[in-house]
Structure 1
Amino acid sequence: MEIIGYAASVLIGISLGLIGGGGSILTVPVLVYLFGLDTLLATEYSLFIVGISSLAGSWSYFKKGMVSCKTALVFGLPSVISIFLTRTYLLPLIPEEIFRIQSFTVTRNIFLLLIFAGLMILASYKMIRADRPAEPLESKNNILLATRQGSIVGVLTGLVGAGGGFMIIPALVNLLKIPIKTAIGTSLVIISFNSLIGFSSSVNNTKINWNLLLSITGIAVTGIIIGSQLSKKMDGKVLKPVFGWFILVMGIYIIIKEIFL
């Protein structure tokens, strides 16, 4: 299973490099089901893997001038604050056993995985559907909406360890009117800082297997370098719906496995 997990880690990186998001949504399921990690620990590992991979992937976009630092700050600052508050105060409040329905017990692990599955289904919907032009809004309203979106991404990243690129890129393109290539580069920068700050905020409370974590991260970074190179020759919009269907199947599988199996 670990061999399959390492192969999946390459796909995580390729997705991040090619379409700027989506790959991180696979990280926690890979860590839980293929590497056998506890869900809460998997969210911690995911933040590091996604953070380092996104940072590596953003470098090529940064060199080409396809990163908007101002936008990264406007969107990223509320995200960082939300992540810190979520990892520091909200996660520790979730009990090991949340509630029980007859013989079925919803534990913290199941609860987080179900949130994650819901997030995967939402991500798949956004990837599968055709992009629609957003209605024009006033600049001030756009910035406020982007700030709100950044806060939502921060809470989700803090809870389940996903980068949130599937939410960041549409916000950058539709609300802040950023070209898609620049939105991808900027998204990778936002994801990297969000994830690494989230990781650092709770790493002291977690026992880390650095050999495993660095191995998976190294493979994911290799994948994102491959994805960045492929993005020069392939249109990410063509592959996006295909990847969306894959994520949809994975999300449904998690729900069935955690509730019925």
Structure 2
Amino acid sequence: MSLLLMTVLFGAAIGLVLGMLGGGGSILTVPVLVYLLHMDPHMAVTASLIIVGLNALMGSVLHWRAGNVKLKEAFLFGMYGIVSSYAGARVSTMLNSTLLLMLFALLMLVIALLMLRPKMGVVTSTTATRRPWWLVLLGGLGAGLLTGFLGVGGGFLIVPALVLLLGMDMTTAVGSSLVVIALTSAAGIAGHLNSHIALPWTEILVFTAMGFTGLLAGTKLARMLPVARLQQTFALFVLGLSLVLLLLNVPKLPMF
């Protein structure tokens, strides 16, 4: 299968997952870029940030037009994450490629387990209380660090943080999280580009375009399919993939 065709297929597939499940799908971007499109892990993290950031930007525009974005709060949270995202990206470029993939596999494992947990009661803006500024600061810094370090959007953390720390309802939190992801991704990209990585821009742009197409299709499918069952199936797939990545990379660490 040609490289371009694989880019089209997997870009659309990941966008489809994101559209159906609303979060977690971007965790597959780095493994796909490394193991199927044969990118270097550091290049894959940078490319993932560009893909995730552009899709988040386009998605945030759609949500903003639908009235589901609180720009002021999203920018506040996102600005906290910009510094840590840049710092995380700089640290990431210094790591051994094997260690980077192993850490990514551990993150996938955590996400899969979180997705498999029974859903807690939904916190709404009417029941949530705004938390102290320092707690909001820590939330923004943590989300930004994760985004820059491993090249993921972090929506699975940002959405609950916006609900619990800023008192948003779930619909507004999802839309606002895309603004946060776009901001922190931009800072992470800046941190990685300083390492002078030559990026395959054709594949990145095709992947992004197909991801957005899949995102639109997945959003429509989500209204017709049992999303809870889909999320469980996807979580089990991510869990299995994380274990495979660990098995592949742990033996390659220097201590082994």
**5+ unaligned residues in a row in structure 1: which ranges?**
95-107
In structure 2, which of residues 152, 156, 162 is the aligned counterpart of residue 166 of structure 1?
156
Q: Is the 8 A contact 1:5 1:30 kept in 2?
A: no
**What's the counterpart of residue 97 of structure 1?**
none
**1:228 matched to 2:219:** yes
Deviation at 1:64, TM superposition (A): 1.0
CA pair 58-134 structure 1, distance change in 2 beyond 3 A: closer
Deviation at 1:176, TM superposition (A): 2.8
How far apart, CA to CA, are the structure 1 residues paired with 2:94 and 2:48? 20
**What's the counterpart of residue 258 of structure 1?**
249
Deviation at 1:228, TM superposition (A): 2.9
* 1:16-55 correspondence to structure 2 within 5 Å: 16-55=18-57
Deviation at 1:144, TM superposition (A): 3.3
In structure 2, which of residues 142, 147, 159 is the aligned counterpart of residue 152 of structure 1?
142
How far apart, CA to CA, are the structure 2 residues paired with 1:77 and 1:229? 32
Residues 181-219 of structure 1, C-alpha deviations (whole Å, 9 max, x = no match): 211111122112221332134325221121121111111
**What's the counterpart of residue 211 of structure 1?**
202
Deviation at 1:127, TM superposition (A): 1.2
Deviation at 1:58, TM superposition (A): 2.1
CA pair 81-234 structure 1, distance change in 2 beyond 3 A: farther
When structure 1 is superposed on structure 2, of 118-127 and 189-198 the one drifting more is: 189-198
Deviation at 1:164, TM superposition (A): 0.6
Q: Is the 8 A contact 1:57 1:188 kept in 2?
A: yes
How far apart, CA to CA, are the structure 2 residues paired with 1:156 and 1:182? 22
Aligned length: 246
**What's the counterpart of residue 62 of structure 2?**
60
Could you tell me the percent identity over the aligned residues?
34
Q: Secondary structure at the match of 2:236?
A: helix
Residues 215-250 of structure 1, C-alpha deviations (whole Å, 9 max, x = no match): 111111211122233345456445322222221111
How far apart, CA to CA, are the structure 2 residues paired with 1:69 and 1:238? 32
One-letter code of the match for 1:112?
Answer: L
Per the normalisation by structure 2, the TM-score is: 0.86
**What's the counterpart of residue 168 of structure 2?**
178
One-letter code of the match for 2:32?
Answer: V
Q: Is the 8 A contact 2:83 2:187 kept in 1?
A: no
Q: Is the 8 A contact 1:16 1:24 kept in 2?
A: yes
**What's the counterpart of residue 106 of structure 2?**
118
Q: Secondary structure at the match of 2:38?
A: coil
How far apart, CA to CA, are the structure 2 residues paired with 1:84 and 1:37? 22
**What's the counterpart of residue 91 of structure 1?**
92
In structure 1, which of residues 234, 238, 241 is the aligned counterpart of residue 232 of structure 2?
241
In structure 1, which of residues 128, 134, 139 is the aligned counterpart of residue 116 of structure 2?
128
Q: Is the 8 A contact 1:67 1:183 kept in 2?
A: yes
How far apart, CA to CA, are the structure 1 residues paired with 2:15 and 2:119? 23
How far apart, CA to CA, are the structure 2 residues paired with 1:48 and 1:29? 15
Q: Secondary structure at the match of 1:139?
A: coil
Q: Is the 8 A contact 2:148 2:187 kept in 1?
A: no
**What's the counterpart of residue 13 of structure 1?**
15
Q: Is the 8 A contact 1:129 1:241 kept in 2?
A: no
One-letter code of the match for 2:53?
Answer: G
Q: Is the 8 A contact 1:56 1:225 kept in 2?
A: no
CA-atom RMSD in angstroms? 2.4
**1:109 matched to 2:100:** no
One-letter code of the match for 1:118?
Answer: L
Deviation at 1:168, TM superposition (A): 1.0
Deviation at 1:5, TM superposition (A): 4.9
Q: Is the 8 A contact 1:133 1:174 kept in 2?
A: no
Per the normalisation by structure 1, the TM-score is: 0.84
